[in-house]
Amino acid sequence: MNREALFLILCSCLTAFFVYFFGKAKDHFSDSKFLSIELSDYKDRLKKRDLEVELAEQRLFDFEQSVIANLSDKSLKERTLRTQLRAPAAIHRIDYSVSILNDAKKYFQDKEFDKAKHKFKEFEEKYPYSIHLPEVLFLKAESHFLSSEFESCLEIADVMLQHYPENEFTGFLLIRMGQIFEFRKRHDEAAQVYRTVLKKFENQQLRLQAKKSLDDLEKVR
C-alpha cells in the first residue's frame, strides 16, 4: 500500500508539473504572438505617419514655391519701377569701348601709329571679349607693319590664327605675313601663306589680293 501511495503521489506531482509548464508555455507563446501583432501594427502606423509627414512636407514645399514665385514677380516689378524712377540713365549706358575704338581709328587714319597702338592696346586690355577685338588686333598689327615693326606684327598674326582662324581680319593679316616673308626672301613660306588664304577664306577681295600676291611672287622666283 505504501508503494502504491507513493506512486500515486508521484503521478500527481508530475501531472501538476506538466499542467503548470503547459500553462506557462501557452502564456509565453501567446504573449509573443501578441507582441508580434503589436509590432506589425506599430510599423503600419509608423509608415502611415511617415506618409502623412511626407505629404505635408510636399504641400508645404509647393506652397513655399508659390509664395516665392509671387514675391519674385512682385519684387521684379518693384525693382523695374524703382530703376525707371530712380536711375533712368542706367537704361542707356554709354559704350566706352566704341569711344576708345573710334579714337584709335582716328589716330590710325592720321598715321599717328604710336598713339593708335596705345589706344588699341587700351581697348584690348579693357575689353578682351568684345566683338570688335579681331578688328582691333588687325589694326594694331597693321600699325606695327606700317611702322616697320615686323616681329610685333607677326606676333599678333599668331594670336589671330590661334583665336580667330576663320575671321576675315585674320585673312588680311595673313597677307601682311606673306609680304613680311617676301621682304625677308622667304619666298616658299610666303607662297604657302597666300595659298592658305585662297584655301581657307571666301571673301572675294581677300582672295583676289592673295592671288595677285601669289602671281607676283611667282614672277620673281
Q: What is the pLDDT of residues 129-177, one digit of tens each?
A: 999 999 999 999 999 999 999 999 999 999 999 999 999 999 999 999 9
Neighbour tally for 104: CB within 10 Å:
23
Q: Give dist(CA 123, CA 98) in Å, integer.
A: 9
Contact by Cβ (8 Å): 168, 133: no
Among residues of the chain, what percentage have pLDDT more than 70? 57
**CB < 8 Å & 24+ apart, contacts of 69-77:** none
DSSP for residue 159: H
Contact by Cβ (8 Å): 117, 141: no
Confidence check: pLDDT of 17 > 80: no
Q: Give dist(CA 92, CA 80) in Å, integer.
A: 14
Confidence check: pLDDT of 211 > 70: yes
Q: Give dist(CA 46, CA 69) in Å, integer.
A: 34
Q: Give dist(CA 184, CA 179) in Å, integer.
A: 9
> In degrees to the nearest 10, what's the CA dihedral of 204, 116, 136, 201?
20
Contacts of 107 by beta carbon, 8 Å cutoff, 6+ apart: 113, 115, 116, 119
What pTM, to 2 d.p., does this model score? 0.58
pLDDT of residue 49: 57
Contact by Cβ (8 Å): 110, 141: no
Q: What is the pLDDT of residues 50-95, one digit of tens each?
A: 555 555 555 555 544 544 444 444 444 444 444 444 444 444 455 6
Q: Is 111 left (phi over 0), alpha (psi -120 to 50) or beta?
A: left
pLDDT of residue 20: 57
